[in-house]
Homo-oligomer: A and B are copies of this chain.
Amino acid sequence: MKTIAFVGLGAMGQPMTRALLAAGFAVRGTDVRPAACEALAAAGGIACHTAATAAEDADALLLMVVDAAQAEAALFAGGALNALPPEGIVVLMATCPPAAVAAIAEKVLATGRRFVDAPVSGGVAGATAAKLTIMAAAPDDVFAAVRPVFAALGQRIFHVGDTPGQGAVVKTVNQLLCGAHIAVAAEGLALAEKLGVDGRMLLEVMGGSSAASWMLGDRGPRMLEADPIVTSAIDIFVKDLGIVMQAGRDARAALPMAGLAHQLFLAASGRGEGAADDSQVIRSYRRLNFIG
């Protein structure tokens, strides 16, 4: 593993490529936005005009694009898969529904190339600090081959299974809990607001009780602010809980708590608040339960 092709130099991809460069990898990156390619070149990487060009001579092709459709476009229509050397490994790190990952993997494996399903969590902060959590599914030998790449990007690296799609399942369940926990915290804090109990005091009590959640500690204080800084937007959970619900549809499994949380994020997005901090899903409760 010396040369990494990297498709998708966005908020996550940019710091991830810097981490790979810092660890000594050669990085051939591409993005639809020329400025993103220039930033990679300035950081010591090789900017490529297309995913296919990036894939040439690469040991692994990492995809950190927005969704499964973009991954398919780069790999198949865009020619990156065929440009990748036969012993190359495709590593899909974008958050995608498990069934979509399995379908992409099938096409990749049919060419004789290897595939790792490796979504991440930790956000931009985790990418920047090279402290991502990586949930990888691949046969043992394939996982072992890409491990040095993951070690450059993350701190908690899990080999969650050997079948493509299992990494996506872990990420999906993770996002189910994250999104639902934000909605639950909002529901509780909005009820307290309605009943005249101070939210900061409530956060202090619940932060140390069995009601605690990571999201309550992180998003709770911002739910009490009128217009907090955006650390992650409402529309991110519109997308991620959409993937959760897609996974449920594909598996024919009812996910009522996640489905309800999704509705609350969707309603906020539909009110034009999709770019607001996701803590502001509490506004859906205020609109629902408050006068005026």
Contacts and interface: CB of A to CB of B under 8 A. Distances in A.
Nearest to A166: B197
A212 B181 CA distance: 9
Contacts of A183: 257
A44 interface: no
B191 A180 contact: no
A66 interface: no
Contacts of A187: 176, 180, 255-258
Contact of A251 (B169, B175, B191): B191
Interface residues of A, number: 67
17 contacts: A133-B205, A135-B205, A173-B192, A173-B202, A174-B188, A174-B209, A174-B210, A176-B191, A178-B211, A181-B184, A187-B258, A194-B251, A195-B247, A195-B251, A211-B214, A254-B288, A256-B264
Interface of A: 98, 121-122, 133, 135, 156, 158, 160-161, 163, 165-166, 169-170, 172-178, 180-181, 183-185, 187-192, 194-198, 201-202, 204-206, 208-216, 218, 247-248, 251-258, 260-261, 264, 288-289
Given A122-B209, A166-B195, 5 more contacts: A133-B208, A166-B196, A170-B202, A178-B210, A257-B260
